[in-house]
């Protein structure tokens, strides 16, 4: 397929509920949609990058910069038959994984249309439906947090993840565990602790957590191995894993027992699949993380989650958890805690051009 045109859209959407993590509170998102045009088809991808460099070093502005100056020029008017060829074309660009993932996902979408296959099937997915969890931000009032959890459980969600940080951890989890003694529960610290907090973190073992996500530094796998040896709860790595090579090293060191796979963080679906395959071969479960993706990015995540080793409910929730209006038709819905994996060609959801245009604050077109 020859890439004839590329559109980059900076799309701004407001969350229905502000989201607080150990590094800050946000109420809107600034993702970059990528449209690739080839053979009369349009492929859609989403770089689920954040406006601020507090989750990783990328921002919406660096994403647009790297795409327009380096990635787009290396793929425009070029012919690609496989994702490997596409990725190789911009292989000199180091990191900037969220930027790359937007282009790479759009190419997968093109391929799925060219091959008349559902994206999940093209990726090697085997599941007809996936189990859905929610990720809930830090709330100043724990009674209110408990009400929110109750609401999500009533909607059928299969797993609750709570954001934690120093001073908002042990007592919050104790109250939540008391209120819900048996629910699948986990905590995500987004790198808020260091090894000096080892004994403090050991208190979390009392709450029967499914796992503790990224307790230590975003660029660490050594201290996580020390901490994992001192905990009974499994550690799950998010920020520390950018590639299948990172995953291999973390597993060799014993830094974690679970991996959160986000296509954006690892540069796309191909690398995500490699991490999935590696973990499957080693008997390590994975689940699909989220970056509050719009419907397009979430459609890609749903397709990826159909792979067999995505055996733990992930952070892919219904559209209404995030946005009053989503960018796809139909929107993503959760029934009895599950999302059906679409069996139709392509994404299985149709991007809604009218709503995309309404939320676009800047568009760049390359022909």
Q: Which residue's CB is nearer to ligand OSB, number 36 or number 49? A: 49
Closest CA to 13 of 355, 256, 246: 355
Nearest CA among 38, 79, 73, 105 for reference residue 266? 105
Residue 30 beta carbon to ligand OSB: minimum distance, rounded to whole angstroms: 12
Q: How far is CA 281 from the centre of its chain?
A: 22
Q: What part of residues 28-57 is at the interface with ligand OSB (CB under 6 A)? A: 55
Which of 30, 238, 246, 326 forms a contact with Mg ion (CB under 5 A)? 238
The answer to the question of residue 315 lying near Mg ion (CB under 5 A) is no
CB of 297 to ligand OSB, least distance (A): 9
- Which one of the spans 37-45, 122-130, 290-298, 348-356 is the region binding ligand OSB (CB under 6 A)? 290-298
Stretch that binds ligand OSB, among 68-76, 104-112, 194-202, 285-293 (CB under 6 A): 285-293
**Closer by beta carbon to Mg ion, 8 or else 189:** 189
Comparison of 47 and 258: residue with beta carbon closer to Mg ion = 258
132 touching ligand OSB, by CB under 6 A: no
In this structure, are residues 339 and 332 in contact, taking their beta carbons and an 8 Å threshold? yes
Q: Which is nearer to Mg ion, 104 or 213 (CB)?
A: 213
- Angle CA 312–318–323, to nearest 5: 135
Under the criterion CB under 6 A, does residue 317 sit at the interface with ligand OSB?
A: yes
> Rounded to the nearest whole angstrom, what is the least distance from the CB of residue 72 to ligand OSB in the complex?
26
- Examine residue 290 and tell whether it contacts ligand OSB (CB under 6 A): yes
Is the Cβ of residue 163 or residue 276 nearer to Mg ion in the bound state?
Answer: 163
Told to check if 326 binds ligand OSB by CB under 6 A, we report: no
41-47 and 24-38 strand pairing: antiparallel
- Binding mask of the shown chain, residues 168 to 197, with x at each position contacting Mg ion by CB under 5 A: --------------------x---------
Sheet holding 5-21, edge to edge: 41-47, 24-38, 5-21, 360-366
Indicate which residues carry an active-site annotation: 163, 262
Q: Is 259 exposed, middle or buried (0-12, 13-18, 19+ CB in 10 A)?
A: buried
Q: Which of residues 178-207 bind ligand OSB (CB under 6 A)?
A: 188, 190
Residues 221 to 250 in contact with ligand OSB, rule: CB under 6 A:
238
Q: Find the angle CA(287)-CA(186)-CA(234) to the nearest 5 degrees.
A: 75
- Backbone φ, ψ for residue 14 (5° rounding): -95, 130
With CB under 5 A as the rule, give the number of residues binding Mg ion.
3
Q: Does the footprint of ligand OSB cover residue 292 (CB under 6 A)?
A: yes
Write out the residues near Mg ion by the rule CB under 5 A: 188, 213, 238
Write out the residues near ligand OSB by the rule CB under 6 A: 55, 135, 188, 190, 238, 289-292, 315, 317
């Amino acid at each position: 397929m020859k890439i004839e045109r590329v559109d980059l859209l900076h799309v701004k959407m407001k969350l229905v509920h502000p989201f607080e993590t150990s590094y800050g509170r946000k109420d809107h998102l600034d993702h970059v949609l990528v449209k690739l045009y080839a053979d009369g088809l349009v492929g859609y991808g989403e770089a689920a990058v954040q406006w601020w460099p507090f989750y990783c070093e990328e921002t919406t502005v660096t994403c647009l910069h790297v795409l327009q100056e380096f990635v787009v020029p290396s793929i425009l008017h070029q012919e690609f038959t496989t994702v490997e060829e596409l990725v190789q074309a911009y292989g000199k660009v180091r990191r900037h994984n969220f930027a790359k993932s937007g282009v790479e996902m759009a190419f997968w979408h093109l391929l799925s249309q060219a091959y008349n296959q559902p994206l999940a099937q093209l990726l090697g997915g085997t599941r007809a439906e996936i189990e859905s969890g929610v990720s809930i931000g830090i709330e100043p009032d724990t009674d209110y947090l408990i009400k929110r959890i109750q609401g999500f459980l009533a909607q059928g969600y299969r797993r609750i993840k709570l954001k934690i940080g120093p001073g908002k951890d042990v007592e919050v989890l104790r109250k939540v565990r008391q209120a819900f003694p048996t629910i699948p529960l986990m905590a995500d610290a987004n790198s808020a602790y260091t090894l000096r907090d080892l004994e403090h973190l050991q208190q979390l073992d009392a709450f029967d957590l499914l796992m503790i996500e990224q307790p230590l530094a975003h660029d660490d796998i050594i201290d996580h191995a020390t901490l994992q040896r001192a905990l009974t709860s499994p550690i799950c790595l998010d920020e520390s894993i950018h590639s299948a090579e990172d995953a291999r090293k973390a597993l060799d060191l014993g830094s974690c027992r679970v991996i959160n796979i986000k296509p954006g963080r690892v540069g796309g679906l191909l690398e995500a699949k490699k991490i999935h395959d590696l973990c499957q071969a080693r008997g390590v479960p994975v689940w699909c993380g989220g970056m509050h993706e719009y419907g397009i990015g979430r459609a890609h995540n749903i397709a990826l989650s159909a792979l067999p080793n995505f055996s733990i409910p992930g952070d892919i929730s219904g559209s209404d958890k995030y946005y009053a209006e989503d960018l796809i038709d139909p929107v993503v819905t959760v029934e009895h805690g599950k999302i059906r994996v679409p069996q139709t060609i392509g994404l299985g959801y149709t991007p809604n051009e009218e709503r995309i245009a309404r939320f676009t604050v800047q568009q760049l077109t390359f022909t």
